[in-house]
Amino acid sequence: MMRPALAVGEALRQRAAVSDAELDQVFPDELRDRSHLHWTPVAVAIRAAELLAPTADTRVLDVGAGVGKLCLVGALVTGAMWWGIEQDAVQVAAANRAAWALDVTHRTRFVHGDGSRLAWDEFDALYFYNPFSTVMLAPHASPFLRYATIRATLRRVEQHLAAARPGTRVVTFHGFGGALPPGFTRLAREPAADDALELWIR
């Protein structure tokens, strides 16, 4: 039998075992089949949160936050503040609802928009789970438009990263689709689920 959302949140706070199937109950049924391919698994999110937020005053942004799984787990296992920006309004609504169910609305914020167009200077740490391969275009959009949109997005992201403050942390899972600009040093690469978590610091 599955525990209620508050008990699942409390278990994560206590670092007790919580499966993905159990946490995913806080998200709408019709979105849950995305979990396996598109959402950070719980165990990976816990480790990513440790790498992103070593102190409670850290402000973290998940660029392409989906239903907010990374931010929600981060808010439960660290004292930091977690922001997610997501291009799909349905997933933003699901993230806000899940934050309420898990009682972490005071340390999470989810906004709807294009993460590559947001100013990132308010944040100390950034998380990318290979977000930019999922572009929201009309179904009949040409492959050329799709490719050009991804390239333009990655150019903006690389420009943001090139302007990041010293000390900015970047954690990737499955990379972000581009290259970290000069000035970033990779401090860790750890196996995580079917890929790796990488920690980069400016």
Ligand X SMILES: C[S@@+](CC[C@H](N)C(=O)[O-])C[C@H]1O[C@@H](n2cnc3c(N)ncnc32)[C@H](O)[C@@H]1O
Residue 157 has phi, psi (to 5 degrees) of -65, -45
Considering only residues 94 through 123, tell me which ones interact with ligand X, judged by CB under 6 A: 114-116
For ligand X, the closer CB: 82 or 132: 132
Residues near ligand X (CB under 6 A), total? 23
- Work out whether 91 is an interface residue with ligand X (CB under 6 A): yes
H-helix or E-strand spanning residue 173: strand 169-173
Amino acid in the structure at residue 191 = P
- Work out whether 41 is an interface residue with ligand X (CB under 6 A): no
CB of 131 to ligand X, least distance (A): 3
> Closest-CB residue for ligand X?
64
- Work out whether 153 is an interface residue with ligand X (CB under 6 A): yes
CA 175 to chain centre: 12
For ligand X, the closer CB: 148 or 185: 148
Please list, in sequence order, all residues whose beta carbon lies within 8 angstroms of the beta carbon of residue 130, skipping any fewer than 6 positions away.
172, 173, 174, 175, 176, 177
For ligand X, the closer CB: 92 or 180: 92
Which member of 69, 107, 109, 160 binds ligand X (CB under 6 A)? Answer: 69
For ligand X, the closer CB: 90 or 185: 90
Which member of 14, 19, 134, 159 binds ligand X (CB under 6 A)? Answer: 134
Burial track 120-159 (b if 16+ CB lie within 10 A, e otherwise): beebbbbbbbebbeeeeeeeeeeeeeeeeebeebbeebbe
Q: For the beta carbon of residue 119, count every other beta carbon within 10 angstroms.
A: 8
- Pair type for strands 169-173 and 125-128: parallel
- Work out whether 158 is an interface residue with ligand X (CB under 6 A): no
**In this structure, what is the dihedral angle of CA atoms 146, 149, 153, 158, given to the nearest 10 degrees?**
90
For ligand X, the closer CB: 88 or 103: 88
- Work out whether 132 is an interface residue with ligand X (CB under 6 A): yes
- Work out whether 64 is an interface residue with ligand X (CB under 6 A): yes
CB of 71 to ligand X, least distance (A): 8
What distance in Å separates the CA atoms of residue 187 and residue 189, rounded to the nearest whole number?
A: 7
Q: Binding residues for ligand X, per CB under 6 A?
A: 38-40, 62, 64-66, 69-70, 85-88, 91, 114-116, 129-132, 134, 153
